[in-house]
Amino acid sequence: MTSELAKGLDGILVTESEMSYVDGEIGRLIYRGFDIEDLAEQATYEEVVYLLWYGDLPSEAELEHFSSRLAEERVLHQDVLATLERLAEADEEPMSALRTATSMLSAYDPEASYTTGEIDLSREKGMRILAKVPTILASFHAYREGREPLDPDPSRSLAGDFLRMLSGESGSSLAGETFDMSLILHADHGMNASTFTSIVIGSTMADLYASVTGGIGALSGPLHGGANQEVIRMFRDLEDSEHGPVEWVKEMQKRGERVPGFGHRVYRVKDPRAHILEAKAVELAEEGAEGRYIGYAQAIEEYLTESGLVEKGIAPNVDFYSGVVYDQLGIPFDLYTPIFAMSRTAGWIGHVIEYQEDNRLIRPRARYVGPKDVEFVPIEQR
């Protein structure tokens, strides 16, 4: 047994997976062999979920059946809606509300107690979870705005129906296409913190509700899922200042502050997902969406690239442009990370199912560095 310490498990292999692969040196992301650029441009989110869960792209008939099943499962039980209403009244954080409601879903699952590890049943349960997450978020937002949530529309795609339920309006075809693409880009990304959390829970043979709830908890931390909010917060502060974007970043650097949205634990070059979202942000701006933040982002990226930061392996990640796109789509600022969770639920579920096919309880060890041979002193003598 090795005694080498790998803090943060950097470089440690814990399992094998066929789902996604990240090449950080050249900036490549693939899902089951398909480049993310091809999937983002040519597939739908439902197709990508099917690919991740079943291993192949669906036929037309398979996609129709799968999409219909997802659409059928979007409706929430009234008890879950009532809980979301109370959480909104209590001014709960959206990620915490999502965590609570997702855990609650198991109470209304007709197969909640089936034996974990049965792949087909796991996929059915996963479908029920994935379908309901958009409805949870849209309903919670409706309640905190003081209105009744809209019922899901099974004739719409998951992405399109979420935007409709969130805002009450259908939106443009470009908006729906862009949001669907953003869900594809975030659906999976190798062995990240939240995926690992979900797998650890799944390795105990706990059910998918426990695994997804754990994934949401891990993603809620600012070191994992909140960077796009930090980017938009920076842009908002910049907007209220007298500085231009380059001057603003120079001042940040003088203070020794990190520029949000730059740098990644795996990528040493620009995140391929950032390339895709940057292009969509430009397209949205050209269609008429408010485009001030895309200008900020591109100016800052150009400056930091010319200053040599990217050459050092600190390049734009997906969060640098995802927040820009969400802002253009009119999505509330504090829903950015929950939307990340909405998309990544597909990856969490897929990885848990894959891992449980050849399950082994994940049980690492910690190096003990505390005292030994301490003499116990009775309480009356302390």
In the predicted structure, residue 1 carries a pLDDT above the cut 70:
no
Distance CA 346, CA 53 (A): 8
% of residues, the chain, pLDDT over 70:
98
Q: Are residues 185 and 307 in the same domain?
A: no
Asked if pLDDT for residue 113 goes beyond 80, the answer is no
Choose the catalytic residue: 161, 180, 319, 327.
319
- Chain segment 44-96, per-residue pLDDT in tens: 999 999 999 999 999 999 999 999 999 999 999 999 999 999 999 999 999 99
Q: What's residue 116's pLDDT?
A: 59
Both structure tokens of 246: 């380059």
Q: How confident is the model at residue 128 (pLDDT cuts 50, 70, 90)?
A: very high
- With respect to residue 12, please indicate whether it lies within any of the assigned structural domains: no
User: Phi and psi (nearest 5°) for 249?
Assistant: -70, -35
Catalytic residue among 109, 224, 275, 334: 224
What confidence score (pLDDT) does residue 222 get?
83
Identify whether 9 is part of a domain: no
Q: Summarize the confidence of residues 284-290 as an average pLDDT.
A: 86
pLDDT tens digit string along 164-210? 999 998 888 999 999 999 999 999 999 999 999 999 999 999 989 99
- Lowest-pLDDT choice from 38-52, 118-132, 218-232, 360-374: 218-232
Alpha carbon of residue 74 to chain centroid: 19
Mean pLDDT of 341-351: 98
In a shared domain, residues 285 and 323: yes
pLDDT for 21: 96
pLDDT, mean of residues 137-144: 98
**Are residues 319 and 233 part of one domain?**
yes
DSSP 218-243: HHTSTTTT-HHHHHHHHHHHHHTSSS
| Coil, strand or helix at 90 | coil
Please state, in angstroms and rounded to a whole number, the distance separating the CA atoms of residues 107 and 112.
7
List Cβ neighbours of 155 (8 Å cut-off, separation of 6 or more): 71
The verdict on 162 and 114 lying in the same domain is yes
- Enumerate the β-bridge partners of residue 35: 30
Same domain flag for 297 and 179: no
Residue 58 Cα to chain centre, angstroms:
23
Q: pLDDT band for 214, please (50, 70, 90 cuts).
A: very high
Domain assignment present for 367:
no
CATH of the domain at 291: 1.10.230.10
State both tokens at 241. 């200042």
Q: Kindly report the pTM of this predicted structure.
A: 0.94
What average pLDDT does the segment 279-289 reach? 91
Instruction: With respect to residue 216, please indicate whether it lies within any of the assigned structural domains.
Output: yes
Q: How many CB atoms lie within 10 A of CB 73?
A: 18
Check whether residue 239 and residue 319 sit in a common domain.
yes
Given pLDDT bands bounded at 50, 70 and 90, which one contains residue 114? low
150 and 47, same structural domain?
yes
Count how many domains the chain has.
2
- Set 161, 264, 271, 327: catalytic member: 264
Same domain, residue pair 169 and 104: yes
Reply yes or no on whether the pLDDT at 362 is more than 90.
Answer: yes
Same domain, 318 and 341: no
319 catalytically annotated: yes
Answer whether residue 162 is part of any domain: yes
Same-domain status, 178 and 45: yes
Residue 141 is among the residues annotated as catalytic for this protein: no
- What is the pLDDT confidence band of residue 380, given thresholds at 50, 70 and 90? very high
Does the residue 13 lie in any domain? no
Question: What CATH number does the domain containing 163 carry?
Answer: 1.10.580.10
> Is residue 112 pLDDT above 70, yes or no?
no
| 215 and 232 together in one domain | no
Residues 232 and 349 in one domain: no
What mean pLDDT is reported for the chain? 93
Spell out the long-range contacts of 359-367 with Cβ–Cβ below 8 A and sequence spacing 24 or more. Answer: 359/117, 359/202, 359/203, 359/205, 360/203, 361/203, 361/204, 362/14, 362/199, 362/200, 362/203, 367/3, 367/5
Residue 21, classed as helix, strand or coil, is: strand
The per-residue pLDDT for 264 is: 87
Check residue 117 and give its pLDDT. 60
Say whether pLDDT at 39 is over 80: yes
pLDDT value, residue 185: 98
Encode pLDDT of 295-325 as tens digits: 999 999 999 999 998 888 889 999 999 999 9
Among the residues of the chain, which ranges form H helices?
Answer: 36-42, 45-54, 60-72, 78-89, 94-104, 119-144, 158-167, 173-186, 193-203, 208-219, 227-239, 245-254, 272-287, 292-306, 318-328, 336-356
Residue 246 lies inside a defined structural domain of this protein: yes
Residue 206: inside a domain, yes or no?
A: yes
Annotation marks residue 224 as catalytic: yes
pLDDT for the residue numbered 176:
95
Domain assignment of residue 68, given as a range: 28-222+334-356
